Structure 1
Amino acid sequence: MPGLYLLFLLISIAGITALDARFRLALWSAPVTSALAVVAGTAFFVGWDAAGIASGVFVRGDSPLLLGIDLAPHLPVEEPVFLAFLCYLALVVHAAVLRILGRRRAPTADGGRPTP
């Protein structure tokens, strides 16, 4: 079924965005910085892909799940969407880990350390 991979990517992005909005981890706590990080990471990895395609290392495989639309030779439209999802997911996970570690280290009201 053409487009199924893109659909699942968009559903996954919506899920991560919902978690981000609920806990204000990345985009909802620092929107400009988060957007710049996702755009810069995506641009870096698209450039990486372009270098791999130009050198013949990366080729587009055939799958009935892809739309069949290429942005460039061997670069399906789903690739930048996946790379943006990957960068956003990494940003949200990083922010969540920092928050969890920050809570573990925060002193309690009586001056002691909280129990894990």
Structure 2
Amino acid sequence: MSGFAYLGALLVSLGGLALFDHRFRLAFWDDARRAAWTLGVGVVGFLLWDVAGLALGIFAHGGSAHMTGLLLAPDLPVEELVFLTLLCYVALLVWVGFERSARLRAAGARALRGGAGDGAP
């Protein structure tokens, strides 16, 4: 059973990110199509990077008692795909959060200036 510990922790973490996303409507609960494309492109890019690293002998699969042992390809465990999804989802949520925060700060600064410079007479 401990062979699923790492995968389980990754899936619980993904679930927590999804709850956070839902609560603040950052990515999938704001624009699911755009979020899915963004996440997909990031995961595929990192998977290609991993495959290239494995092919060149830069990366190697280090077995662990806490991993399932299921491989997507030689030396590419299924946990790597879930981890890369987690990594890209975190990056997406942080990016959207910072973008939203900057937009709100700019709107607040304009309001404090009395709307000057927004094109209104």
TM-score normalized by the length of structure 1: 0.91
Which segments of 5 or more consecutive residues in structure 1 lack a partner in the other structure? none
Residue 50 (structure 2) aligns with:
49
Aligned twin of 1:77: 78
Letter in 1 for 2:103: G
Whole-angstrom distance in 2 between the partners of 1:101 and 1:82: 29
Structure with the bigger percentage of helix: 2
Query: Which stretches in structure 2 are left out of the alignment for 5+ residues?
Result: 114-121
Partner of 2:97: 96
Which is higher, the Rg of structure 1 or of structure 2? 2
Aligned to 2:59: 58
Deviation at 1:28, TM superposition (A): 0.7
Aligned length: 112
Matching of residue 24 in structure 1 with residue 7 in structure 2: no
Name the structure 2 match of 1:112.
112
Structure 1 residue ranges (4+ consecutive) displaced by more than 4 angstroms after TM superposition = none
Equivalent position of 2:3 in the other structure: 2
What code does the residue aligned with 1:112 have? L
State the secondary structure of the residue aligned to 2:3. Answer: coil
Cα RMSD after superposing both structures: 1.4
Distance in 1 (CA, whole Å) between partners of 2:112 and 2:97 is: 24
Give the AA of the match of 1:53: L
* Structure 2 residue aligned with 1:14: 15
CA distance in structure 1 between the aligned counterparts of 2:25 and 2:36, rounded to whole angstroms: 14
Amino acid of the structure 1 residue aligned with 2:112: G
Deviation at 1:107, TM superposition (A): 3.2
TM-score by length of 2: 0.87
- Structure 1 residue 108 displacement after superposition: 6.9
Q: Distance in 2 between matches of 1:58 and 1:84?
A: 19
Specify whether residues 112 and 74 from structure 1 end up closer, same or farther in structure 2 by C-alpha distance, changes over 3 A only: same
